[in-house]
Structure 1
Amino acid sequence: MLWSALRRPSTDDPPSPTDAALQALAVWALQFTPRVAVAEEAVLLEVAASLRLFGGRAALRERLWGGAQELGAVALAWAPNARAALALARAGVEDGVSAPLERVLDALPMATLSAVRPHLPILARIGCRTLGDLRRLPRAGLARRFDAALLAALDQAYGRAPETHVWVMLPAVFDARLELPHRVEDAGTLTFGAHRLLLQLSAWLAARHSGVTAFTLHWAHDAMRSRGAGEGGQLTVRTAEPTREVGHLSRLLAEHLAQVVLAAPVGDLRLTAEGVVPLAPRSASWLPDEAHGQEPLPQVLERLAARLGEDRVVRPLLCEDHRPEAMECWQPAAQVLPREAWPVAPAGPQPTWMLQQPLKLLVRQHRPLYQGELQLLLGPQRVEGGWWDRDEATGRTRHAVRDYWVAQSPLAGVLWVFQTRLADEPAWYLHGVFA
């Protein structure tokens, strides 16, 4: 087995398993292994089964230590069991697996084991300074003079007795809080505190194999606020695609906060996730990714929409409609693309270029003309629909009843033309050009 200990700074009062900072660190650690426990001022992870998944101990350490530092961890240690890992983390020794465990633990101060601390004065008077000194004392004498917890902790640290743990469970919903170290008066500064909450959100989503399409940052005003400032405020951020990338979520939140004016200084933050959906893992293709290292286009559009306004950044959306002019509409780029909006593939050939407005053609002896007489090659492809689509300005419907043909022009090449059917005077129109 291989255990890793992430230790937070010690305080005068021993931390409890319900300490908010420790719980936040423990929930964040669940993205690496389901076996996470809280022990005093540290979070313990059993990571033997995770090494291959994350590419070995060096790669796992880089990811583990990088995020843990942002959440307040001050020490990292590796050992064959949890209690030894905790003792090494307290002593500032990281590697407890490259050398025999007994040799590594024997050199540690006795205070690195919590069960030894109540007996430090007595042990110091008989010449004990390290765990090795304590281990070499007669076991029968230790059992008579000290409580059973000391021997049990010593045996567990050296791997001679089993340990039991209460595993941290992943919350069903994400709702994290953070007390800021000082009062914040500028909304943009809230990004630094919110980044820590977003780290927790990303880890929670990774443990659930999910992504988020909406999250809300709540802030509470200081108790010394003016009477009209209110209790606080909130900001909901939406993404066009499910994601759990901390960098993108943080940049997107920063763009929105740049437009917020705080009514009073803020002392507490709270982050909740509303739109949580399953997120398929990225394909590990052997083919090179040309966009590697570049920000994806959907994320760029979301940041531009947050900065300029949602109505000023739009993108085309395919719609399920048989009328060519109604197969495309425009929506704000930051909105989530509806899955059911993709159209059914057209029955007939479609042109490469379409005219924004169909061009009415001349007709001679019932045959359309465009740079010469057209020869009808393929058709008709009947399109009928739009009786439900009313133009409110004119009060008329956009009902279309047409027969489309693929036609050959002597000079213009292959064209896409149609003939109206229910009009007072049936006519021919040019609507597209094939490449």
Structure 2
Amino acid sequence: MEVQASVRLFGGKTALRDQVVHEAADQGVKAVAWAGTSLAALALARVGVENGFKRALPDLLDSLPMGVLSAVGPHQATLARLGCKTLGDIRRLPRGGVSRRFDKELLAAIDQAYGLLPCVHTWVALPERFESRLELMSRVETAPALLFGARRLLQQLCGWLAARHCGTTAYTLRWAHDSMRSRDAGEGGELTIRTAAPTRDLEHLCRLLAEHLAKVSLAAPVGDLELRADEVVPLQAASASLLPDPAQDGESLQLVLERIAARLGPDRVLRPVIVDDHRVEWMQMWQPAAAPRPRKSAAIKAMPQPSWVLPEPLKLATRGPRPMYQGVLLLLTGPHRVEGGWWHRIGEGEAATTANVQRDYWVALSEHAGVLWIYQERLANDETAWYLHGVFA
């Protein structure tokens, strides 16, 4: 990694080094080293020397075994017969003879490691789909214990999502049983985790997985894990504020609902969601908390909407043509016409009906009950009938 341009952003070399070492350990990295060139850092990491700035670069590299550079590999046997053991021995050979006897990659790697030539790197190309495997260090016999290895795979997934500016709404964890399993155990199993909204939050994904694994029983010990991203969608990360925001502390309601749903079951935790429908009874619906939110377009409201809606419209008494509710009502605004629902069928078979409505809504004022939401049914047999449907706060 080239980190010189990021030193100030992360609070200095020491703070950046500590963060890299900490996060690299979670990714399974065994050695980390620092140096003025990338090949020098790679060579030092291979021999377990971390700090490449304690001494001058030639003094550090000259004493290293020549095998620490990959370009030496194809010629290591020949160089050994010439008496070379270290990188310093290769540097002391005549450059003209080395260039004629060996390929140009050998001298180029030596010069790049010592800083005599600039290093040219190829950008890492991310795969279009995320699939990663992990061989566990020991056989795991209980499902909750799989989280330790799965966390490493999830961290790789979150890094892949961040690089693609995306989030996931579904991912699948597969496990393969040990080869010494019984015949009835099968090859392995899998578990698909879904989220209500796209996310790449590692801790949230791990908590959801832990809740689901707690309900899984393994038929045989597990030796390998595989993680696959099933649904990936673009995700715009929220801008971080320069000032502390107490509202961002703790867990959001959405994350809490998803975690409870994973523990109790997806159909036992419901939440209301707004849908595209101008009929007030169907402007919202209840769905499982972990299910993706339905996409909705921006609704244009022609008149105020009530704070509370009655479960069933209440037919009002009238005095002549004027409706009454705890006194004669004063019509304030309206009519607001709502039509439609012929496509909405309720029930099955011959008993099925349509939820088609044809109404003119009014905002009315009651001397004792406050502001109300009432309507008349259009084309009804009793055109003078009025109904109370909602109450304003």
Q: TM-score, normalised by structure 2?
A: 0.85
C-alpha distance in 2, partners of 1:262/1:98? 51
For residues 64-87 of structure 1, the C-alpha deviation after alignment (integer angstroms, 9 at most, x for no partner) is 322211222232222221221123
**More divergent stretch after superposition (52-61 vs 404-413):** 52-61
C-alpha distance in 2, partners of 1:65/1:47? 13
Alignment equivalent of 1:414, drawn from 330, 352, 371:
371
Q: TM-score, normalised by structure 1?
A: 0.77
> Residue type matched to 1:157 in 2?
A
Contact 1:111 1:120 in 2 (8 A): no
- Quote how far apart the aligned CAs of 1:101 are: 3.3
Alignment equivalent of 2:20, drawn from 64, 89, 94:
64
Aligned match of 1:313: 269
SS of equivalent to 1:384: strand
Contact 2:140 2:221 in 1 (8 A): yes
Gaps of 5+ in 2: none
1:376 aligns with 2:376: no
For residues 245-285 of structure 1, the C-alpha deviation after alignment (integer angstroms, 9 at most, x for no partner) is 21111111111111112222211111111111111132133
Taking only aligned residues, the RMSD between alpha carbons, in angstroms, comes to 3.2
> Residue type matched to 1:382 in 2?
R
Contact 1:113 1:153 in 2 (8 A): no
Aligned match of 2:255: 299
> Residue type matched to 2:115 in 1?
G
Aligned match of 1:397: 354
Contact 1:403 1:420 in 2 (8 A): yes
C-alpha distance in 1, partners of 2:200/2:241? 20
Aligned match of 1:431: 389
- Quote how far apart the aligned CAs of 1:167 are: 5.0
C-alpha distance in 1, partners of 2:96/2:31? 31
Contact 1:318 1:342 in 2 (8 A): no
> Residue type matched to 2:188 in 1?
G
> Residue type matched to 1:421 in 2?
R
Query: Equivalences for 1:29-428 in 2 at 5 Å?
Result: 45-51=1-7, 57-97=13-53, 100-102=56-58, 105=61, 109-110=64-65, 113-114=68-69, 115=72, 140=94, 154-163=110-119, 165=121, 168-339=124-295, 341-342=296-297, 344-392=299-347, 394-425=351-382, 426-428=384-386
C-alpha distance in 2, partners of 1:353/1:313? 23
- Quote how far apart the aligned CAs of 1:305 are: 0.9
- Quote how far apart the aligned CAs of 1:180 are: 1.3
C-alpha distance in 1, partners of 2:282/2:54? 68
SS of equivalent to 2:246: coil
Contact 1:377 1:407 in 2 (8 A): yes
C-alpha distance in 2, partners of 1:163/1:372? 87
C-alpha distance in 1, partners of 2:354/2:48? 77
Residues 141, 227 of structure 1: alpha-carbon distance in 2 compared, 3 angstrom cutoff: closer
Contact 2:176 2:188 in 1 (8 A): yes
Contact 1:215 1:272 in 2 (8 A): yes
Contact 1:316 1:331 in 2 (8 A): yes
Aligned match of 1:20: none
- Quote how far apart the aligned CAs of 1:123 are: 7.0
For residues 392-420 of structure 1, the C-alpha deviation after alignment (integer angstroms, 9 at most, x for no partner) is 17533222222111112122222221122
C-alpha distance in 2, partners of 1:330/1:159? 64
Contact 1:142 1:151 in 2 (8 A): no
Residues 411, 75 of structure 1: alpha-carbon distance in 2 compared, 3 angstrom cutoff: same
Contact 2:47 2:68 in 1 (8 A): no
C-alpha distance in 2, partners of 1:48/1:200? 24
- Quote how far apart the aligned CAs of 1:120 are: 8.1
- Quote how far apart the aligned CAs of 1:98 are: 7.2
Percent identical among aligned pairs is: 56
- Quote how far apart the aligned CAs of 1:293 are: 3.0
> Residue type matched to 1:357 in 2?
E
C-alpha distance in 2, partners of 1:427/1:168? 71
**More divergent stretch after superposition (318-327 vs 412-421):** 412-421
- Quote how far apart the aligned CAs of 1:112 are: 7.8
C-alpha distance in 2, partners of 1:410/1:262? 67
Contact 1:318 1:343 in 2 (8 A): no
C-alpha distance in 2, partners of 1:227/1:168? 42
How many residues are treated as equivalent by the alignment?
381
Contact 2:275 2:294 in 1 (8 A): no
For residues 111-156 of structure 1, the C-alpha deviation after alignment (integer angstroms, 9 at most, x for no partner) is 68455987789979xxx9x977x69x96659968xx8698765543
- Quote how far apart the aligned CAs of 1:423 are: 3.1
> Residue type matched to 1:399 in 2?
N
